[in-house]
Amino acid sequence: MPSVFLKTLIESFYDLLPIMLVIGFFQFAVLQQPIPNLIEILIGSFFVLIGLTLFVQGLEMGLFPLGESLAFAFARKGSLTWLLLFAFALGFGTTVAEPALIAVAQEAANVAAEGHVIEGTQQARTDYAFGLRLTVALSVGFAIVIGVLRIVRGWPVQYLIIGGYLGVMVMTLFAPPEIIGIAYDSGGVTTSTITVPLVTALGVGLASSIRGRNPMVDGFGLIAFASLTPMIFVMAYGMIG
């Protein structure tokens, strides 16, 4: 165990090395300014290193096996309804509490108030931000359902993605311009560090336990849907709200 930990620790160090080099180079060679609070930054970097090491170990021990065993259990049970219900719950539940999404929703409410889409009061902004969060969470739940259905049925991923892209383009024509930037960004921020491993393990596990599916061709693609549908849903929200 200790040797595994040490090995992961060294790998984490290599993962973080590029950031330190970039910051060091720009700070000393380009900006030519000293780094403020050097001690706090060193302690923080050490925390990042320890945190990444523990995260990777926990991933292999907990999240990956759990996602796969759930996928196998659902495949054995053979009930598509329960599987899809689980898929929706997972997508909705993990997104609605996502800190990055809460931050983006707040920003979006400020944009809407500045653009006079909604009233400038605190209440109006809070309502708008909350509505946006629900919209994105619904869209991610919907995306995981469609993605799981795709794995079960064996549809090619590109048709769904191309359909989604067309949806984004059509919505862009009609959505108010000030929402477009936020809508495009909201696609990227919804998938958190805990959701990604779990959803990936679920997809790969499903594809390996269903006869005739290839885990490489059919197992991936869930995250892609989860980052596409929020764009469409948020633009729709901008048009209605």
Separate counts of helices (H) and strands (E) for the chain = 11, 0
Task: DSSP letter for 229, please.
Answer: H
When binding is defined by CB under 8 A, the residue of 4, 6, 73, 170 that contacts another protein is: 73
Binds another protein (CB under 8 A): choice among 6, 10, 28, 46: 46
Regarding 19 and contact with another protein (CB under 8 A), the answer is: yes
Q: Which long-range contacts (CB under 8 A, 24 or more apart) does 156-164 make?
A: 157/218, 157/220, 157/221, 157/224, 160/225, 161/221, 161/224, 161/225, 161/228, 164/225, 164/228, 164/229, 164/232
Residue 6 or 22 having the CB closest to another protein: 22
Q: Which of 196, 209, 210, 241 binds another protein (CB under 8 A)?
A: 196
Q: What is the nearest approach in angstroms of another protein to the Cβ of residue 38? A: 10
| 70 lines the binding site for another protein (CB under 8 A) | yes
Applying CB under 8 A, which of residues 136, 200, 206, 236 lies at the interface with another protein?
200
Contact 215, 207 (CB under 8 A): yes
Of 132, 182, 206, 236, the one binding another protein by CB under 8 A: 182
Q: Is 75 in the site for another protein (CB under 8 A)?
A: no
* Residue 109 Cα distances to 124, 125, 212, angstroms: 8, 5, 47
Q: Which of residues 147-176 bind another protein (CB under 8 A)?
A: 157-158, 161-162, 165, 168-169, 172
103-132 residues near another protein, rule: CB under 8 A = 107, 110-111, 114-115
Q: Which stretch binds another protein (CB under 8 A): 54-62, 116-124, 127-135?
A: 54-62
**Gap between the Cα atoms of 84 and 206, Å rounded:** 12
Residue 8 CA to residue 229 CA, distance in Å, equals 35
Instruction: Kindly tell me which of 180 and 210 has the beta carbon lying closer to another protein.
Output: 180
3 is a site residue for another protein (CB under 8 A): no
Per-residue burial over 183-216, b if 16 or more Cβ lie within 10 Å, else e, is bebbbebbbbeebebbbbbbbbbbbbbbeebebe
210 binds another protein (CB under 8 A): no
Stretch that binds another protein, among 73-81, 116-124, 125-133 (CB under 8 A): 73-81
Cβ neighbours of 57 (radius 10 Å): 15
